[in-house]
Amino acid sequence: MKKFTILMLCIATLGLASCKKDPIVNQTTPNRTIIFDKPANSWRLLAGTTNTYYVDLVANEIDNINVQDEGVLVYIATDGTNSTGYFQIPNQAQSYDYDIYTGSIRIYSYGPPPTNTIRIKVVLVAAENVT
């Protein structure tokens, strides 16, 4: 009887040891960040306006899927290029706004353009269209 019990324990141990957990792998692409440093002389006056300036950011990482289905967030550093803090645009207090296109972003400044080089952070947020 003792041998039978030991044999059953060995079989049970082998059976339990052979079980394997399969990890769940997240198939989504992680969010991505792109940093731009734009000097003051890169801002251009928007045609037909007297006080609206713009700067174009070329970002080949922005594809049609980003524009149509995913999220694009844009931030400007509060202290030039030191990037110790950011504010998100559009921001009415700072008078900034932006448009997103495949391959680029256009940022608008409603008022005088920046007088120093500024750091712009673009975050591409991965998402799946479920509609």
For the chain, which residues make up each domain, given as ranges? 32-125
Sheet with 96-101: strands ordered across: 44-45, 52-58, 104-110, 96-101
pLDDT at position 112 over 70? yes
- Looking at residue 98, its pLDDT comes to 93
Residue 75 to residue 123: CA distance in whole angstroms: 8
pTM of the predicted model, to two decimals? 0.74
39: amino acid identity, one letter: P
- Looking at residue 27, its pLDDT comes to 58
> Which residue reads 């296109």 in tokens?
101
Residue 128 to residue 29: CA distance in whole angstroms: 10
Residue 111 to residue 45: CA distance in whole angstroms: 10
pLDDT digits (tens, 9 = 90+) for 25-66: 665 568 999 999 999 999 999 999 889 999 999 999 999 999
Give me the residues paired with residue 101 across strands.
104
pLDDT at position 107 over 90? yes
For residue 76, count other CB atoms closer than 10 A to its CB.
23
